[in-house]
Chains A and B, each alone.
Chain A
Amino acid sequence: MTQSNGKILLEMKGIGKTFPGVKALEGVNLTVREGQVHALLGENGAGKSTLIKILSGAYIKDEGQIFWEGQPIEIKSSQDAQRLGISTIYQEFNLAPHLSVAENIFLGHLPQKGLLVDWAYVRKRAKEILDSLGVTLSVDTLTADLSVAEQQLVEIAKALNRKTRILIMDEPSAVLGEKDLEKLFDVVRQLQANGIGIIYISHRLREIFALADEVTVLKDGRYVDTRAVSAVTMDDLVRLMIGRELADVYPKRTNKPGEMLLEVNNIQTEGLLHDISFDLRAGEIVGFAGITGSGRTELARVIFGADPYSGGEMRLSGQPYRVTSPADAIRHGVALVTEDRKRQGLLLKLSVAINTTISGLKKLSRFNVIKLNEEVGLVQKFIKQLSIKTPGPNFIVVNMSGGNQQKVVLARWLSIGTRLFILDEPTRGIDVGSKSEIYQIMADLATQGVGILMISSELPEVLGMSDRIMVMREGRIAKELTRAEANEEVVMHYAVGAAVA
């Protein structure tokens, strides 16, 4: 089905984009033909989102040229992109939940007959579009009542109603189950047959082989290569995606695992997680790798008592460990440093001091009265120990840098004698300097006998910090690797579900 001979619709050449202090894209090329599925592949932070935002008019490029059917053009706004016929389906849908399918398909440009909306035409045309996709869906249903997969189809129909010539799909499979995936593939092939060019973004290599004609790989904001899918193997793609050098920011450390700390046996949830078993010893750092949506954060929340589990059991230091709330977990000495620091970690409008001691106020109190002097002393000790940059304990954390905010979160858990740290993306959005400080704190903790479960989507971080690595995929532990066995290729293979050569 390779459509490498279709008419060229879009050509992007040498595209570059710089944000203050960061070169997000450099020298990126992309060519899309009519009736072609062109996959865009790369790790988190490789520049895929930036590229499609330039194409859809959300960002304006700093360098390079864009050609549309051979003519040089500029895309300066989302209206420009729409006029050309470039539509984007983001992971988060843009539907009005309390309107019908037909109304959503026509959202923003309802046709009028005189003063009134021409509802007969709206319903007829909506049905035609859905039929052309091979979808049977009542146009009068409220979108809120649809499944996620059906809502996605409405998004696609909405794009088609605007005369789409290139459809950008941003990880469309991330929200779908196995069955819905087949349906999506059928629809994509249908669009392809109608001559629409498709830019398909996904981490999952299997989908790329099932669907795409060509694949362009990005890495660290740079263009790596464009290949015909029929001419590459999974190994080739993995090698193109990764294979950068390990920066020497990780502290040297010898692994001396102590007593058994956490045992997880056959944990499952009503949602994503299936049959999760692993253990973690005192003084050990176990890294959890996997793509977004593989279930790592869900697992962390279960161990921390933030979400319920439906089967299996856990033990902590050999004792049964049953948690129904974060408060329970904290009492057992378990802490979670959340992925989303601003929404789930910090009390943003409150001070460094309040954020540091909020989980340990009981111990700081006598007769239910906080010993304020002792509190200030404790906070000042941690400001010094972790070199938190702040004018003082009463400074509001919203005004601090990401690295310093993360240190405040760490100080909170250190101040109450945590023995099992769960760190979810501990260095996300943090500058390089603070990163290595946080790695050093983790290494020191492990040396002191604290157990660390680290979730990270940055492979160098996982490889650089972990004693052992668990690779998760689709809610299961796909593979356990020792430090010696692991390298970026092997981890990525298990994370995306490719067979190891």
Chain B
Amino acid sequence: MSAGASAVTGKAGGRSSGILSVLFGSSIIGPIAALILAGAFFSTQTDRFLTGTNMSLVVQQVMVVGTLAIGQTLIILTSGIDLFIGAVMALGSIIMTSMAVDYGLHPVLAILIGFAVCMAFGLLNGALVTMIRLPPFIVTLGTLNIAFALTRIYTTQTITGLPPMLTFFGNTFKIGNTAIIYGSVLMFLLYLAAWFMLRSTPAGRYVYAVGDNPEAARLAGISTTKLLIGVYTLAAFAYAIAGLLLVARTEVGDPQAGQDSNLESITAVVLGGTSLFGGRGNIMGTLIGALIVGVFRNGLQLMGVASIYQLLITGVLVIVAVSIDQLSHRSKGT
């Protein structure tokens, strides 16, 4: 009904909502403005915020969740949701470290096995969502528990004494006096790749199309089943990389890891302006969203605010961001 109404109002309605969509919609100007404002605020509060070393630290803290959020963005763009990402990341990192340490496999082989397990789970998610037509929320809630349990069944011990190859991405190089971790470079490269895929490949377009309207997408000739299975598998590939980065940063395999990652990744996606209704959003927005969370955590920490208040403020941020998204939606009549 409301869509029809805005179709009738035609261009006039279109123009005003065009401005809104630039500010709050698929464009990332809104999130960037929020990031700059947050940065400016913390610079005035503490001298230690705006230094090369601290910026590098923010990125390093964001690296794992940021990489997970790439997969989450892809799935949310198809109007799905992924709850299992923290659990599968933990499972992947345990398998990689255990294969290398406990079974003495070559680190590269151990990593490959970890990736294979994660991606097999992604494939399973995609198959359940498309072939049995289960809601993504239910499917990933189920695989969340399965992956979590499998990890604990496999081991409850933290795996230590990792070979250097497994922690390669934790190494640093220097630009000037600032040490930069390889993993954060990898994260930025992954964002560039995902951005390119979504913008310039047919598959990327299909992700938006399926998220906007799966039936219309199918009738436009898109094989929606193949596409969704591909998206869930590719997302799991991102989670496996995040597992590797986690191992590199912490230098252990931790079966307890990743328990907050689901909500943290969704927070990053939402703060980045991607619509939870699918079909609308920008992967670079997610990167900005992850950085916003990182900047707030870091800035508040430097100001000496207790970590429980950091969580509180993150919660408020999410609700404000989603409200803006919702309001811009309503004014568009969709």
Q: Chain A residues in contact with chain B, CB under 8 A?
A: 304, 306, 325-327, 329-331, 336, 338, 342-350, 354, 358-359, 361-362, 365, 368-370, 372, 389, 391, 395-396, 398-402, 405, 412
Contacts and interface: CB of A to CB of B under 8 A. Distances in A.
Contacts of B15: 391
B202 A361 contact: yes
Interface in B43-95: none
B25 to A, nearest CB: 9
A401 B8 contact: yes
Nearest to B280: A349
Nearest to B17: A399
Contact of B11 (A325, A346, A391): A391
28 contacts: A306-B219, A325-B218, A327-B221, A327-B222, A327-B223, A331-B221, A343-B216, A347-B209, A347-B213, A347-B217, A347-B279, A348-B212, A348-B213, A348-B334, A349-B334, A354-B208, A358-B205, A358-B221, A358-B222, A365-B202, A370-B201, A372-B200, A389-B11, A391-B15, A395-B14, A398-B333, A399-B10, A399-B17
Contacts of B316: none
A398 B11 CA distance: 10
Nearest to B4: A342
B260 interface: no
Interface string B215-257: 1111111110000000000000000000000000000000000
Q: What DSSP secondary structure best describes chain A's contact surface?
A: mixed
Nearest to B332: A398
A347 B14 contact: no
A401 B218 CA distance: 24
B7 A401 contact: yes
Interface of B: 3-4, 6-11, 13-15, 17-18, 21, 200-203, 205-206, 208-209, 212-213, 215-223, 279-280, 332-334
B219 A345 contact: yes
B216 A344 contact: yes
Contacts of B223: 325, 327
Contacts of B334: 348-349, 398
Contacts of A395: 14, 18
Nearest to A341: B216
A306 B221 CA distance: 10
Contacts of A396: 14, 17-18, 21, 332
Contact of B200 (A304, A342, A369, A402): A369
A391 B6 CA distance: 16
Nearest to A364: B202
Contacts of B13: 399
A370 B205 contact: yes
A405 B280 CA distance: 19
Contact of A369 (B4, B8, B17, B201): B201
Contacts of A304: 219
